[in-house]
Amino acid sequence: MNSVAFRVTMARLAPFRVQLDIGLAFQAGKVAMGRAHSDRGEEGRALEGEGARETYRQLAQSGINGVSIVEVSRTSGISNTTISGTGPSRSPLLIDACSRLGSVPEAPDTGSIQADLSALLERLSDQLQTVNWSSVYHSIIDAAERDPEIEAMQANLHKSFMAPFEAVIERAKSKGEISSDRITSDLVAALIGPMFFRRWFSKETIGKLFIRTIIENSIR
């Protein structure tokens, strides 16, 4: 294979590399927690089940500051001793609970970067306008400023949420739909930023016209 063919092949594989690398990063925290819980047998499985469900309920209702180990114990029926055995903080419970924010979505491949990005932004719009998802994620971002474990968890969540956008952009570069010298992270920021601004700051509606405008302004 000559050098030109090699570069073309690697460009075509770029979207798949992005998804794999970021997907693995997102799973790393969950795998580590799963291993720790597996070592604890039935207690660990209880924490992953009822404990995580109750923690997520509290997150959605009161934000991260409203999560109480005592209340998780009382409502889920898991002893304080079992919960405390995960560590001195709420972070392990929160990591398990936040895995319920959603799995890593597949990057769409409609044949058009505009249609792909529109599908992804419409999905994000639905999530942002779902009270539980938006309030829980906002609470995680706030807590990440003070807790290193939650900061690491939030970084992995962010990577997983952005993965399909990066994959779509890298594929568009390989097909010549957008210039290869465009910086992927800058494009993602230009696409995502206005969505969070409207949800958390201006409180304006996130409609299809707004999404189309974001895409046109970002990839023109």
Please report, for the chain, the start and end positions of each structural domain, with discontinuous segments joined by +.
Answer: 3-100, 103-219
Residues 72-118 have pLDDT tens digits of 878 877 766 666 554 445 666 777 777 666 666 789 999 999 999 99
Q: Which CATH architecture has domain 103-219?
A: Orthogonal Bundle (1.10)
pLDDT of 145 reads: 92
Own/partner long-range contacts of 100-106 (Cβ < 8 Å, ≥24 apart): 100/52, 100/53, 100/56, 101/133, 101/136, 101/137, 101/157, 102/127, 102/133, 104/19, 104/22, 104/23, 104/26, 104/160, 104/161, 104/163, 104/164, 105/164, 106/164
The confidence score (pLDDT) of residue 36 equals 41
- The per-residue pLDDT for 75 is 80
Average pLDDT over residues 205-211: 96
Asked whether residue 210 carries a pLDDT value surpassing 90, the answer given is: yes
